Structure 1
Amino acid sequence: MRDRTAVLHSRVGADPALIDSIRRVLVDVLRQSGVHDHDRVAAALAPLVLDTVRREIRNSRDAMLESLYPVAGKLVQAAIAQAMRQLADSIAKPVDSVFSPSLWSARFSAWGSGRKVGDVLLARSQTFVVERVLLIHRPTGLLVGDSGAEDDVAEDSEQLAALLSVVQTFARDAFAGRTDGFVRGIKFSDREVHIAGSVTSLLAVKTRGRAPDDLEERLQNALMDVSSRWADPIQDFAGALPPGERTELQADLTVANEQISGNAAGAAPKRRPTTGLAILGLIALGLIGWFAYSAFQNWRDSQVDDKAATLIDTPEWRGYPMSFDYEGDDRTLAASGLAPNATAAARLQSGLQQIDRVGSVVFNVTPMSGQAATTAQPSESALAARIATLEKQNSGGGVDPVSRIALWLAQHPIQFNERDSFADRRAAEQRLDAVAQLITAWNLDFKILVTGYADPTERRPRRTSSRRADLVAAALTGRGVPSERLIVLGRGGEALVAPPGNTANRRVAFEIAWR
């Protein structure tokens, strides 16, 4: 007994001996306690560790900054480089395609919102996802609950909880009196942690992607919902919750996850960026409507021309050239050509004025009678026969001046390209000078029929041919030819001199009307 007492006194009888005895087993005791009674050990040591860390951070700020600066600089540089590569890749694809629907949708959204197209594309390329929701006991920095499954609670969740608590304490102490000292977010590479806090708890949300504008409001609402149910357990938190409460808290944090993500049951669905698509749709509908209206107008105009053509579909008018050109914008119907007599011309003018949708009639029809009617040349075949006769007469030296003029005019039409442009302006000007000189040089009683033609493949050939004839008649009048000696009309795609599609059909021909 005396020996045992001596041994016991040697181990605990004095402070140095007691310290030496505890030192031998302290490490093993803490290690075994951390395995078998982790929660109690954590609850007991957390305040001490937290206070120590706070004090060391406060007392060694310069040393910490000096140590962290090289590492932080490299991390930030690498993160920025990676982010820029991802940004370039995400934007390059839609930008590369000019006809990309997503690019046009982004352009319309940008126009409607006043933002840049790149900002819209960047926002769409970063879908917001909530990965985890953590509930942290603010005084101790201990993790109270995690929205992940119980067997999926990562070790870094506890480390993140402790880190956030330390950061909040540091911010409060460092910025006391200047701001509220509350850190609301931390960036980790492509992840972010958003934080909402109360006196006893912190709600931390680990996310990726571009956060919505109302995220802070969502966090506060979720924190209030969780705090209202778990105020007492959080207040009395000692390191761990009973298994049943832990499961219930996990379910509540899962609901909070959905609430923050905007996918909670009954919540209003997230609005998609449909403004640009809606504008694009309206523009498409407008274009379709415009084309449909134009086609309808052209059809209605052609109906007027067809009704006018039925008025001369009689044996009396056969062989007399006529053209009709209806302008739907001002409801004007222009008629030009030759009539068999004055009575037929008056009857035609009256009939044109009675056609629906005709407001006014521009009547430029010359009636023919007596000898003039018998000497008219209404067809190409008749003209060809007369030219042949003139050639025979010419070989005998007996061709009169008018016949010479008729032959020359028939062989020298004015050629056109598209619409009202000359095929060769210089050649056309020279030919117009020659025609004007022929007409004015001889004091003879005849008129010139200026007939415009178009190719059948051209749009609205009748109107195009009339415009060409008007252009040539105006050019002749400007060269001294009296307008009363010209009869102007357009015959559309009639009397082709080449297969359809050939530019030779686009011309203005000259004929002697009568002598």
Structure 2
Amino acid sequence: MSAGASSQGVSKLKELLFDGEADHLAELANRLDALGNSHEELRNALAERRAFEEGARAELSRRLDAVHDRVGTDDRFSSSVASVLDTALTRAERENHGELRAALAPVMVPTVKTEILNSKDTLVEALYPMTGQMVKAYVRSAMKDLINQVNRRLESNALMLRVKSITTGRSMAELALAESQRIEVEELLLIRRGTGELIARWPEKNSPNNHDHVLGGVLSAINSFATEALESDENALRQIDLGESQVYLRGSPNHLLAAKCKGTAGSSIEQIIDDEFLKTVSALHGDDVRVSEIASSGLAALGPRLDQRISEQYELLDRPALGVSPATLLLILIGLPLVGWIAWSTYTTYETTRVREAARGIIATSSEIKGYPTTISVGPRGRELTISGLAPSRDAAEALLARLGHALPETAIDSHLSVVPQGARDTTQDIVDLRERIAKLNAEIPRRAALRALFNADRAFADAGIHLDRLAALAATSENATTRRLAATSSAISGPLKNANTAIADARAAMQAALPAVTERRQIAETLTKRANALEVAIDKLAQQSELVGISAKPATEPAATLAGESAQPEYVVGAERLDLLGQRLQLITVALVQAELTRAAIPKPKPPAVVQNQPYQPSARELLRNFIEDNAIFFSDQIAYRNDNEANATLDELAKLVVETHAFIRIVGYTDERGSSSRNTTLSERRAEHVRAALITRGVPAENLIAIGRLSQFDISPATGTDSPNRRVEFELAFKGEGGP
């Protein structure tokens, strides 16, 4: 994956991890802003309240001073009277304007005109410095306020202003300035020119102290002064700046129409004001009553109409130059790159996955490198493919690369395959097979241990039976009561011994081919334990009789200790080994009894008995074979080489003759010493057994009568090591019919 894709993944991860935290911080910031606004509003309210109280106290003080001024002294009284007269004149001007004008106009108007004409130079010189300072201070203050207002709009709404600037083609400063100076009509005044009489007002409301009439008179006087003093009838006064408000003036010969507005009007807005004012002023004709009615209705309609046309003009100015709203343009600017990025990421992922899966499929179907580890790495969009690993040969690697190049022609393939020497291959399957064989062998150990114990028990019971028969024969010819009593006790063992032999034969048959099921193993263990208990009771009785005649019948190994030492073995193995120990014990007792009787018989008697000619005991061929395989083995020096060829061949010749004569089944068991690993020793022991089996077959023994197996010896027969170690051997055992298969 490229660095760009990684950085994008990291950015996405950051957004997922910190999105909730950012929302929480934004919410806290909004709450802090709301608290700050509330605090600011409360502080402003307290300041307004304080200012109101101070104003009320000042107003009360002013009124007290006014009362004192009016009645305190003669001068003050005179001033009060003058004020009353002024009020009366004002009321008369409002209520009887026509009469008052007819009375005062001939006197005041010529006088004012004359004074203005006579003193215009002085008036200009007196007003010029004051007016210049006022204009300078006002312009400075207005520019400062305008700059602050524009800066606030740029800081608080920079993004939307930038979007509007892009869509409308106007600069951000121009847009901010336009929004800060949007005009709003507050009042409309229709004034009679010359007298300053207020004819109509919109919106209609009662103003205290005749403020509107005073304002009308002031506006009329200023307009007349500007027109006459500057001798400019063509360019009449059009605008007066009142600080926070602007007054736009448009006049006719008889009337003056003033609009008090908040904000500054542009050229297009002034054109609208001119058009609407011209329509309204042009409709004023007739007597005073009719003019007053027309003016009231005209101003009532003019105010909403001006607001509507001004709003429409601002909407027209705000209309995007490209025909797209700022929100739509912002959505397009964000959405198009996002959609493009998603489409590109999807395409890149698809191409990368396609190339990776195609490469994996080709590698999986390539038999040349099967079993050899390989790793692939695919670059973005599948343009690069890096393959590394092992190959059996250079030809196999080139064949794989050729198939990859043919299947992926647009992909650059970078090979890092290493060629291993011939024969070096993946041994994973061999290890798995070896582990399976070890597991099977471990599972077979208890079964084979039980079969060996049962075989030893069967052989011991057979030998004990032979000795018991000889003891019975000796007792039949003996006159000794103890001998006859021992023979009678020995005959009592025949029943338990027969049952034990039957149980051994059944158990060996059940476990010969494979380990039986759990239920059957449990039944075998119960049967073997039951037969062992009965046989042990009979053997104990015989042992007691043996001790009476001074024969020690204790076994070489105590059964209890053996059982305690092998408590972890399965129950059927414990039962088989217990029968093996009982067989050894019975064999020891019977041999001792026979030897004792033979010794007793050899003792000379006072009167020699008559000589009885007994036929010498002729063992059967089966017994000869059994005795031979118990006394002989084949020893090896190294691998499958005999330690002594002459002795080995003589042993094999004799064994082959006995096997052919008895038609017996022989199990050939190979052993090794402690050197080497378990797997190696298992293989070597099987090879030795197969070598001896082949030698017997060449000597005429039927192959189906010979079974060759390898066995790991748990107990070495000698501590010797090396080529002279007797642990390297092959032993022979009597096998079962059918053990080698059909």
**TM-score (structure 2 length as normaliser):** 0.38
Q: Partner residue of 2:276?
A: 222
Asked whether the equivalents of residues 106 and 121 of structure 1 are also in contact (C-alpha less than 8 Å), the reply is yes
Q: Partner residue of 2:412?
A: 362
Q: Partner residue of 1:489?
A: none
Q: Partner residue of 1:93?
A: 152
Q: Which runs of structure 2 are paired with 1:114-513 in the superposition (5 Å)? A: 117-138=172-193, 140-152=195-207, 155-176=210-231, 180-228=234-282, 230-233=283-286, 236-237=287-288, 241=289, 246=292, 249-262=295-308, 270-271=315-316, 273=318, 275=320, 278=325, 282=329, 285-311=332-358, 312-313=360-361, 314=364, 316=370, 319-327=373-381, 332-337=383-388, 340=391, 341=396, 342-353=398-409, 360-365=410-415, 371=421, 374=424
| Distance across 1 between alignment mates of 2:100 and 2:378 | 101
Which moves more between the two structures, 183-192 or 316-325?
Answer: 316-325
| CA displacement at 1:320 relative to structure 2 | 1.0
Asked whether the equivalents of residues 355 and 408 of structure 2 are also in contact (C-alpha less than 8 Å), the reply is yes
| Distance across 2 between alignment mates of 1:227 and 1:321 | 94
Structure 2 vs 1, CA of residues 344 and 334 (structure 1 numbering), >3 Å: closer, same or farther? closer
Report the residue type matching 1:59 in the other structure. Answer: N
Report the residue type matching 1:195 in the other structure. Answer: L
Asked whether the equivalents of residues 193 and 254 of structure 2 are also in contact (C-alpha less than 8 Å), the reply is yes
| Distance across 2 between alignment mates of 1:30 and 1:154 | 12
| Distance across 2 between alignment mates of 1:346 and 1:87 | 76
SS at match of 2:240: strand
| Distance across 1 between alignment mates of 2:84 and 2:326 | 72
Asked whether the equivalents of residues 109 and 275 of structure 1 are also in contact (C-alpha less than 8 Å), the reply is yes
| CA displacement at 1:205 relative to structure 2 | 0.9
Asked whether the equivalents of residues 372 and 425 of structure 2 are also in contact (C-alpha less than 8 Å), the reply is no
- Larger RCO, structure (CA 8 Å, separation 6 or more): 1
Report the residue type matching 1:371 in the other structure. Answer: P
| Distance across 2 between alignment mates of 1:70 and 1:295 | 70
SS at match of 1:180: coil
Identity between Structure 1 and Structure 2 (%): 20
Report the residue type matching 1:345 in the other structure. Answer: L
Structure 2 vs 1, CA of residues 57 and 372 (structure 1 numbering), >3 Å: closer, same or farther? farther
Structure 2 vs 1, CA of residues 72 and 42 (structure 1 numbering), >3 Å: closer, same or farther? farther
Structure 2 vs 1, CA of residues 258 and 54 (structure 1 numbering), >3 Å: closer, same or farther? farther
Asked whether the equivalents of residues 335 and 364 of structure 1 are also in contact (C-alpha less than 8 Å), the reply is yes
Q: Deviations over 1:459-480 (max 9, x none)?
A: xxxxxxxxxxxxxxxxxxxxxx
SS at match of 1:286: helix
SS at match of 2:116: helix
Name stretches of at least 5 consecutive residues in structure 2 with no aligned partner.
Answer: 1-81, 429-742
Report the residue type matching 1:363 in the other structure. Answer: I
Asked whether the equivalents of residues 250 and 277 of structure 2 are also in contact (C-alpha less than 8 Å), the reply is yes
Structure 2 vs 1, CA of residues 208 and 51 (structure 1 numbering), >3 Å: closer, same or farther? farther
SS at match of 2:349: helix
| Distance across 1 between alignment mates of 2:422 and 2:305 | 95
More helix by share: 2
Structure 2 vs 1, CA of residues 282 and 181 (structure 1 numbering), >3 Å: closer, same or farther? closer
| CA displacement at 1:180 relative to structure 2 | 1.8
Structure 2 vs 1, CA of residues 86 and 366 (structure 1 numbering), >3 Å: closer, same or farther? closer
Report the residue type matching 1:215 in the other structure. Answer: I
Structure 2 vs 1, CA of residues 109 and 50 (structure 1 numbering), >3 Å: closer, same or farther? farther
Structure 2 vs 1, CA of residues 59 and 334 (structure 1 numbering), >3 Å: closer, same or farther? farther
SS at match of 1:151: coil
More strand by share: 1
| CA displacement at 1:152 relative to structure 2 | 3.8
Structure 2 vs 1, CA of residues 28 and 196 (structure 1 numbering), >3 Å: closer, same or farther? closer
Report the residue type matching 1:224 in the other structure. Answer: L
| CA displacement at 1:365 relative to structure 2 | 3.5
Structure 2 vs 1, CA of residues 323 and 373 (structure 1 numbering), >3 Å: closer, same or farther? farther
Report the residue type matching 1:210 in the other structure. Answer: T
Q: Which runs of structure 2 are paired with 1:41-80 in the superposition (5 Å)? A: 41-44=99-102, 45-46=104-105, 48-69=107-128, 71-73=130-132, 75-80=134-139
Structure 2 vs 1, CA of residues 338 and 52 (structure 1 numbering), >3 Å: closer, same or farther? farther
| CA displacement at 1:260 relative to structure 2 | 2.5
Asked whether the equivalents of residues 189 and 259 of structure 2 are also in contact (C-alpha less than 8 Å), the reply is yes
Q: Deviations over 1:203-245 (max 9, x none)?
A: 21111212133233222222233234x4323xx44xxx37xx7
Asked whether the equivalents of residues 148 and 250 of structure 1 are also in contact (C-alpha less than 8 Å), the reply is no
| Distance across 2 between alignment mates of 1:104 and 1:366 | 53
SS at match of 1:214: helix
Structure 2 vs 1, CA of residues 373 and 77 (structure 1 numbering), >3 Å: closer, same or farther? farther
| CA displacement at 1:307 relative to structure 2 | 1.8
Name stretches of at least 5 consecutive residues in structure 1 with no aligned partner.
Answer: 1-25, 354-359, 379-515
| CA displacement at 1:289 relative to structure 2 | 2.2
| CA displacement at 1:372 relative to structure 2 | 6.5
| Distance across 2 between alignment mates of 1:363 and 1:200 | 97
| Distance across 1 between alignment mates of 2:219 and 2:427 | 104
| CA displacement at 1:253 relative to structure 2 | 0.6
**TM-score (structure 1 length as normaliser):** 0.53
| Distance across 2 between alignment mates of 1:137 and 1:148 | 18
Structure 2 vs 1, CA of residues 28 and 287 (structure 1 numbering), >3 Å: closer, same or farther? closer
How many residue pairs get aligned? The number is 330
SS at match of 2:187: strand
Q: Deviations over 1:145-189 (max 9, x none)?
A: 211315348734333333443444444445557x72312112122
1:40 to 78, 95, 98: 98
| CA displacement at 1:369 relative to structure 2 | 6.4
Q: Which runs of structure 2 are paired with 1:102-113 in the superposition (5 Å)? A: 102-110=157-165
| CA displacement at 1:377 relative to structure 2 | 13
| CA displacement at 1:194 relative to structure 2 | 1.0
| Distance across 2 between alignment mates of 1:162 and 1:281 | 53
SS at match of 2:248: strand
Q: Partner residue of 1:471?
A: none
Structure 2 vs 1, CA of residues 279 and 32 (structure 1 numbering), >3 Å: closer, same or farther? closer
| Distance across 1 between alignment mates of 2:251 and 2:371 | 97
Which moves more between the two structures, 369-378 or 277-286?
Answer: 369-378
| Distance across 1 between alignment mates of 2:246 and 2:83 | 37
